[in-house]
Amino acid sequence: MLFYFGYRTFTEKPDQIIEKYGIQRVHHRILFFIAQVPGITVNDLLSILEVSKQALNTPLRLLSEKNLIKMVQADYDKRYKLLYLTEQGKQLESKLSHVQREQMKTIFDSLGSNHQKAWIDVMNALAKVRPGQQQFNTQINKQRH
């Protein structure tokens, strides 16, 4: 119950922002992960989000039509589409993430750093079984090397 209400609070302000752009929470997730891994392939994004190609196709097309993302053919293989945020997409994603980071910062500042560590430990324990988390870690490690 607390997780549900906490999640609602965490997503409320970003949902209000994206509504003005005519997009939804799924679009926010896509923008977030493209921002984390610029140049990610569509297939890798599918794996991270743990959704089907059909589920991702329409949101990607809408984000492209709204000039929030761009799709570029990979030089190494024309079959692969690489995803990047446009300047407008970067600004929107930054605004959305800033709202949520500030919200978490305010909470942890009031509770203390030991609470932040405990929260991170809980989130890591929940996330570690997700194939999308494993794929995300793989993508981040590729970018670092």
Cβ-in-10-Å burial (0-12, 13-18, 19+) of 136 comes to buried
Position 140 scores a pLDDT of 85
Residue-wise pLDDT for 26-70, tens only, equals: 999 999 999 999 999 999 999 999 999 999 999 999 999 999 999
Q: Does the pLDDT at position 145 exceed 80?
A: no
| Residue 94 binned pLDDT confidence (cut-offs 50, 70, 90) | very high
What is the token pair recorded at 114?
């030991």
The whole-number pLDDT of residue 92 equals: 98
What gap in Å lies between CA 76 and CA 129, rounded to an integer? 32
Q: What average pLDDT does the segment 105-110 reach?
A: 95
* Residue 13 reports pLDDT greater than 80: yes
